[in-house]
């Protein structure tokens, strides 16, 4: 089957690296802000680098918010990367209080400035481990990922889902444990950058596109 893959272009995504990751495994996505192309896709990737409010403003300006929500409601696979994962949630406290896409119940919060009397270096930049939650990974894009495999992170805020059952993995940063990937039905989110995480990370795109 010739799979139709759309990467949402709203001006803040890591578009080239994600496209290259897909090309590397034999898939050729379209990078688009066109609603018809998005709705016609078999798989949707929502990237993101930058501030939550700016991203939501851009999606609103392009009239893509309802399109993405409608797509997610169709049951087809959708995957948010880094800021794209955060946008899936109800709200964020980044530079105020802002509403998200409301596809996964929960909020985006800033890392605490310290933990157990030690200052936390923010942002969290670099390689860190994924630790499996109680959810099995077999039917998710993490199905070939080993518990304790390393991925590449760059972020100052993290997701706090309301339902622990939606948490695929945790990551521990300088003693602070937080959610690093989520799943709700056909919706997946990864706080790290699979496309910057070597062959192990790229396999996440391969697994996603085989769902």
CA-to-CA separations, 21 to 79, 81, 115, 187, in angstroms, rounded? 14, 13, 36, 20
Distance CA(182)–CA(153), nearest Å, equals 15
End-to-end CA distance of the chain: 13
Looking only at the bridges linking them, the beta strands covering 78-81 and 89-92 are unpaired
Give rounded-to-5 percent helix, strand, coil for the chain: 25, 35, 40
Distance CA(22)–CA(88), nearest Å, equals 22
How far is it between the farthest Cα atoms of the chain?
A: 55
- Which residues form the catalytic set? 82, 193, 195
CA-to-CA separations, 149 to 48, 128, 177, in angstroms, rounded? 23, 8, 16
Q: Contact at 8 Å (CB) between 96 and 53?
A: yes
Q: Contact at 8 Å (CB) between 208 and 99?
A: no
């Amino acid at each position: 089957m010739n799979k139709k893959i759309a990467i949402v272009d709203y001006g803040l995504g890591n578009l080239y690296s994600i496209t290259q990751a897909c090309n590397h495994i034999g898939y050729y996505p379209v990078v688009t802000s066109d609603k018809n192309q998005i709705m016609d896709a078999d798989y949707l990737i929502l990237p993101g680098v930058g501030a939550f409010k700016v991203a939501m403003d851009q999606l609103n300006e392009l009239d893509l918010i309802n399109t993405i929500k409608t797509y997610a409601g169709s049951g087809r696979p959708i995957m948010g990367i880094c800021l794209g994962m955060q946008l899936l949630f109800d709200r964020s406290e980044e530079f105020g209080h802002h509403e998200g896409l409301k596809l996964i119940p929960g909020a985006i919060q800033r890392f605490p400035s310290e933990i157990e009397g030690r200052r936390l270096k923010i942002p969290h930049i670099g390689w860190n481990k994924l630790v499996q939650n109680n959810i099995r990974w077999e039917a998710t894009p993490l199905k070939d990922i080993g518990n304790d495999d390393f991925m590449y992170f760059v972020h100052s805020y993290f997701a706090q889902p309301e339902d622990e059952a939606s948490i695929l993995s945790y990551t521990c940063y300088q003693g602070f444990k937080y959610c690093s990937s989520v799943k709700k039905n056909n919706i997946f989110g990864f706080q790290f950058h699979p496309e910057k995480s070597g062959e192990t990370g790229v396999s996440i795109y391969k697994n996603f596109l085989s769902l």
